[in-house]
Structures are given as structure tokens and as C-alpha cells.
Amino acid sequence: MQKIFLIIFLLIFAVLPENAVGQPSAIKKQQNNKIPESEIRETLITFAKGFLGVPYLYASAAPEKGFDCSGFVHFVFKNFNINVPHSSRGFQYLGKLVQPEEFKVGDVLVFYGYRNTTQIGHVGIICEADGLNSKFIHSSSGKTKGVIISKLNSEMYSRRFYQCVDIISEK
């Protein structure tokens, strides 16, 4: 019985993608060693959604403890070997500025703070691109306190929206 359990256990881990257990991304490269950008974007969002419900924890980028907003974005992009700041303010001058009609899954939304509306204070990743009606995944310090999906056009976020940046195309 123990042998059967061990064999099943090993088979499960043999077929799981590496990123399912928090290791570097298991995206398969094409023959020319270039991964299509659309595949990177979709895989990045699938990976990010695996952390829905992880609690909010200020200044953290550790899934076993929790994430703050920039820690979550930092952690997700790091999994794809894309270095981004672990500070929401660091996104103010990062990447290529994107207009709403050009929003893509995987672009980063940058917001002013909740209390201080003159400084950058929040970031999230677009998971459903539809201009200003897009949805994004982020770690919220609000009522929900954790990794959730929100609507950009909600009152909370539309009034605080600063810009959207493309970090993936620059890679």
C-alpha cells in the first residue's frame, strides 16, 4: 500500500509544472528559444490566480505568509525572470506607458494611494483586458485583505488610477 502511494505521489509531481510548487516558470520554449509574448502573458495570469485568497501582509512578497500589493506583483513577475520593484512607487517610471485601448493581460496598473492621493500607493496586474473596464489581480489592504480580482472601473480604483505600464514587451 505504501509503495502504491509513493508511486502515485511521484507521478503527480512528475507531471506538475514547476511553477505549481513555486519554482521557476515551466513555460515551454519554442524551437527558436523565444516564447510568444501572448503565452507569457496568459501563463503569468494563470500563475498569479493561483494565489487568490493569500492574505495581505505589509512589506511581504512571501506566499506562505502573505503579500502587499507590490510584493505580489514583484513575486509574480520574478517567477518569469522579469525584475520589477518591490515598491509601488517604483512603477511610476517603469515600463512603456499604455493607453486604455491598448491594455493587455499582464500589464501593470498603477494607482495613487488610498489616503495620500498625490503619491503612488498601489499596483495590480491586468487579468482581463477591456480598456477602463478591465479587471486586475492584486493584493488588497482594504476590506477583503488579500489577493483578489477587482474592476478598474469601480469607484475605489477609477478615481485613484494613475497609469498602466507594459513591462513584458520590454523584456
Could you tell me if residue 21 is inside a domain?
no
In a domain, 127, yes or no: yes
Task: Flag whether 11 is in a domain.
Answer: no
- d(C-alpha 45, C-alpha 103), whole Å: 14
DSSP string, 4-51: HHHHHHHHHHHHS-GGGGTSS--PPPPTTS---HHHHHHHHHHHHHTT
**Strand partners for 96:** 166
Range of the domain at 64: 36-166
Residues sharing a CB contact under 8 Å with residue 166, sequence separation 6 or more, in sequence order: 95, 96, 98, 104, 107, 108
Asked if the structure places residue 20 within a domain, the reply is: no
d(CA 109, CA 33) in angstroms, rounded, equals 29
Residue 33: burial class (beta carbons within 10 Å; 0-12, 13-18, 19+): exposed
Q: Express each pLDDT in 99-152 by its tens digit.
A: 999 999 999 999 999 888 899 999 999 999 999 999 999 999 988 899 999 999
State mean pLDDT over 70-76.
Answer: 98
Q: Looking at residue 13, what is its pLDDT? A: 35
Say which CATH number the domain at 150 has. 3.90.1720.10
Q: Is residue 19 situated within a structural domain?
A: no
Residues 19-29 pLDDT 10s: 343 433 334 33
Structurally, the chain folds into a number of domains equal to 1
